[in-house]
């Protein structure tokens, strides 16, 4: 039989394929994660993430300007702090004179059009290495952590943050932070909730970058079980009710079904975090000559869009922006 219906007719030429393409990637979909360290003229590569660096503030500002010139309109910033700056209560997380807050202020002054997303959690500042306050018995204290997170979030807003991104996975933190920001006079500072953040093995290179591994135990009592997706919908409902402006799934590629589930239910934009382990795997495979790096990265990004993500946090952002600029 000769087929009457031929789907291949829509694949005949590049022009037709472009015409019928269901999803596309824009440079404005991308958020670049960055790491800041103390000192001057410091740029150190993360060994497990080739091409990703920790920057001292002077070089970080220049990097932010370069990203903005490439069309990237948002960054998310993480601090890599010396152990001497860490304590049980994560006191440094609210220090307006500290490295992180000075970085927010100076980046905003230098590149005012850049959207700065800040990480809210205790782990970069905690001597215990956990996202929440650790009791003497080793338990992660939820409600006691919320006060610390709220103080941290308000201090970041004062320093110039545009969007606060609580990554701690404590119950009730979105509502608590929203109330704290509003009461402090920051009703226009948004919240991007880490709604479905899983207890994943893919975070290893990130923890190397920040030296933020838990000193004892793991994060399974607050980060989600990788086996669960209905639980992510419950977390979504809670975050929306508490005032989240954007919701996020983390990690990315292994959790496309979760991205799809949230995108079908969410009334706000869905973000996905293409995490350090995913980045490292593609870099390693490309180094061995096992795949075409650019094609694999571009395919991964379109998979996120197809699954329903509007925003993609990815360490590939700068490379993608450069590739897009070349094509134009």
- Evaluate if pTM is beyond 0.75: yes
pLDDT at 217: 84
Residue-wise burial string across 29-52, b where 16 or more C-beta atoms lie within 10 A, e elsewhere? bbbbbbbbbeeeebeeebebbeeb
Catalytic residue among 85, 86, 108, 197: 197
pLDDT tens string 201-213: 999 888 888 777 7
Q: Token digits for 318? A: 């700068």
pLDDT value at position 196?
98
* 251 prior amide bond cis, ω within 30: yes
pLDDT in tens, 299-316: 999 999 999 999 999 999
Strand partners, 166: 120
Domains and CATH numbers, the chain: 7-327 (3.20.20.70)
Using only the alpha carbons of the chain, give its radius of gyration.
Answer: 20
Q: Does residue 215 surpass a pLDDT of 90?
A: no
The answer on pLDDT for 235 being more than 80 is yes
Residues with Cβ within 8 Å of residue 185, at least 6 apart in sequence: none
The percent of residues in the chain predicted with pLDDT above 70, rounded, is 100
Average per-residue pLDDT for the chain: 96
Count of positions (residues) in the chain: 328
**Structure confidence at residue 2 (pLDDT):** 85
pLDDT at 208: 82
| The pLDDT of residue 129 is above 90 | no
How far does Cα 299 stand from its chain's mean position?
19
250 catalytic per annotation: yes
Kindly report, residue by residue over 247-276, the tens digit of the pLDDT.
999 999 999 999 999 999 999 999 999 999
- Is pLDDT above 90 for 190? yes
Among candidate residues 85, 250, 305, 318, the one labeled active-site is: 250
Burial of 26 (0-12, 13-18, 19+ CB in 10 A): exposed
Confidence band of 197 (pLDDT split at 50, 70, 90): very high
Tell me how far apart the alpha carbons of residues 155 and 167 are, in angstroms, rounded to a whole number.
16
**pLDDT at position 125 over 90:** yes
Q: Rounded CA gap, 213 and 67, in Å?
A: 29
Give pLDDT, residue 44.
95
């Amino acid at each position: 039989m000769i087929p009457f219906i031929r789907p291949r007719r829509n694949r005949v030429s590049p022009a037709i394929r472009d015409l019928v393409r269901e999803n596309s990637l824009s440079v404005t979909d991308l958020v670049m994660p960055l790491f800041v360290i103390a000192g001057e003229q410091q740029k150190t590569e993360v060994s497990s993430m080739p091409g990703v660096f920790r920057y001292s503030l002077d070089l970080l500002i220049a990097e932010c300007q370069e990203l903005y010139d490439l069309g990237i309109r948002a960054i998310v910033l993480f601090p890599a702090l010396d152990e001497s700056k860490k304590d049980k209560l994560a006191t440094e997380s609210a220090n307006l004179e500290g490295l992180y807050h000075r970085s927010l202020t100076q980046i905003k002054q230098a590149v005012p059009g850049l959207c700065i997303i800040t990480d809210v959690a205790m782990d970069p500042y905690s001597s215990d290495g956990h996202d929440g306050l650790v009791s003497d018995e080793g338990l992660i204290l939820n409600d006691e952590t919320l006060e610390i997170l709220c103080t941290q979030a308000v201090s970041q807003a004062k320093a110039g943050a545009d969007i606060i991104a609580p990554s701690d996975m404590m119950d009730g933190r979105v509502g608590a932070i929203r109330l704290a920001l509003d009461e402090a006079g920051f009703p226009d500072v948004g919240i991007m909730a880490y709604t479905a953040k899983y207890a994943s093995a893919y975070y290893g290179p990130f923890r190397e970058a920040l030296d933020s591994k838990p000193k004892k135990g793991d994060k399974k009592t607050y980060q989600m079980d990788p086996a669960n997706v209905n639980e992510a919908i419950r977390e979504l409902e809670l975050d929306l009710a508490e005032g989240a402006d954007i919701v996020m799934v983390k990690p990315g590629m292994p959790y496309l079904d979760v991205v799809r589930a949230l995108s079908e239910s969410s009334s706000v934009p869905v973000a996905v975090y293409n995490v350090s382990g995913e980045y490292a795997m593609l870099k390693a495979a490309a180094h061995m000559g096992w795949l075409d790096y650019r094609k694999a990265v571009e395919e991964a990004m379109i998979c996120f869009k197809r699954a329903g993500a509007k925003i993609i946090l990815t360490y590939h952002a700068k490379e993608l922006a450069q590739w897009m600029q070349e094509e134009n």
